[in-house]
Amino acid sequence: MYGSRGVRAFAARRTSAAILGTALLMTACSSGGDGEGDGPDKSAGAEITQQPKDANPFWVNPEGTAARQMADLGADGKKAEAEQIRKIAEQPAAEWISPENPEEQTRGFTEAADQAGRTALLVLYNIPHRDCGQYSQGGAADGDAYRAFVDGVAKGIGDRAATVILEPDAVLHLVDGCTPEKFHEERYDVLNGAVDKLKSLKNTTVYLDAGNAGWGDPDQIFEPLKWAGIDRADGFSVNVSNFYSTEESIAYGKRLSAKVGGKPFVIDTSRNGNGPYTGGDAAERWCNPPGRALGEAPTIKTADPLVDAYLWVKRPGESDGECKGGPKAGEWWEDYAVKLAEAGD
């Protein structure tokens, strides 16, 4: 298995972007800046409010997958399960932008977040030759298609506040041998272009993905990060869709930061409450490992000044892929979601 051992989370199956954007705006407009509704609401997000902005400024999607699953469980009389899923639904999780109508998607998410007085957390995961033919294989057809995708994302964001995690594993796979040499020049070019395009926006923060604490050594990736544009990004992300502890991730990130000009970083803490799985086949320990738990809630109040935020980049409850009985990558898996929440107590 490749060094990432874990970014198999592309949520390709999304509601029509135009419909979704309209629904999100309607939800946002019917709620106050802190998510307080004006009256009875029968929607999935009726009980979902925003987190305190001073510690957690990222937008909670009141119509997200976890919120809808929580509502369905409650309607079916499964109150205990619904309360477990609430632990996921009430926290901000990233929206993974699919290649269909990226402008409409990002406009819908950022407008809804803006109406709630929050920042949208977005992931771009559409690099050509993505995931080296594994569970989340695919991506844009070529460099031009990817540039058009990024252009659409940028138009959709506009001047609204957004934090973007840029291409999980894209740089790492240039280092670990996963991505063939013939694609390297194009990948560096489109990553640089994406950083420049997104940083040209008024209120967009960009973190270029930099792998995780278990894949290898920071000495192996710091130069490729520079070639990919880290100097113009706001920082880098670590542990996306993975399970390494916050302490391990901080140690890895600080070593890497020292080699890229002291750049700050963010950590995906969505499922790292019990650290990495050490049993079974080492090649698939990243894929739906048992016994994992939700990690620290998203916050900008972290344990180290170099860590800008703990984020839930991977959406807890969505499968890593068709392993250990799981559904396809990005699809909701109720049993796994409930166990993550239970173990996080």
Q: What is the pLDDT of residue 29?
A: 38
Question: What's the CA angle centered on 318, arms 293 and 339, to 5 degrees?
Answer: 35
Instruction: Tell me which residue range forms the domain holding 179.
Output: 18-28+47-343
Residue 259 maps to a domain: yes
Q: What is the pLDDT of residue 87?
A: 98
The count of residues in the chain is 345
Burial of 102 (0-12, 13-18, 19+ CB in 10 A): buried
- Domain count along the chain: 1
pLDDT, tens digit, 9 for 90 and up, residues 70-82: 999 999 999 999 9
User: Contact 194/124 with Cβ under 8 angstroms?
Assistant: yes
Tell me whether residue 169 is one of the annotated catalytic residues: yes
Residue 168: is its pLDDT beyond 70?
Answer: yes
Q: What is the pLDDT of residue 282?
A: 85
Nearest-angstrom CA–CA distance, 326 and 287: 9
Q: What is the pLDDT of residue 47?
A: 83
Residue 13 maps to a domain: no
**Catalytic-role residue among 176, 209, 268, 320:** 320
pLDDT, tens digit, 9 for 90 and up, residues 110-128: 999 999 999 999 999 999 9
Residue 199 maps to a domain: yes
Q: What is the pLDDT of residue 297?
A: 98
**Catalytic-role residue among 131, 209, 234, 308:** 131
Q: Rounded to whole angstroms, what are the CA distances from 61 to 23, 108, 112?
A: 11, 11, 8
Nearest-angstrom CA–CA distance, 38 and 44: 16
Residue 228: is its pLDDT beyond 60?
Answer: yes
**Catalytic-role residue among 169, 176, 209, 308:** 169
Residue 1 maps to a domain: no
Tell me whether residue 114 is one of the annotated catalytic residues: no
Tell me whether residue 217 is one of the annotated catalytic residues: no
* CATH number for the domain harbouring residue 231: 3.20.20.40
Q: What is the pLDDT of residue 74?
A: 96
Residue 263 maps to a domain: yes
Query: Can you state the angle between helices 79-89 and 334-343, rounded to 10 degrees?
Result: 80
pLDDT, tens digit, 9 for 90 and up, residues 9-61: 333 334 333 444 444 544 443 333 443 333 334 455 558 999 999 999 999 99
Q: Is the pTM of this model over 0.85?
A: yes
Residue type, 179: T
Residue 3 maps to a domain: no
Reading the block at residue 141, the tokens are 């057809």
334 band by pLDDT with thresholds 50, 70 and 90: very high
Residue 280 maps to a domain: yes
Residue 2 maps to a domain: no
Q: Could you give the percent of the chain with pLDDT greater than 90? A: 80
Q: What is the pLDDT of residue 132?
A: 74
Residue type, 132: C
pLDDT, tens digit, 9 for 90 and up, residues 280-317: 888 889 999 999 999 999 999 999 999 999 999 999 99
Q: What is the pLDDT of residue 131?
A: 74
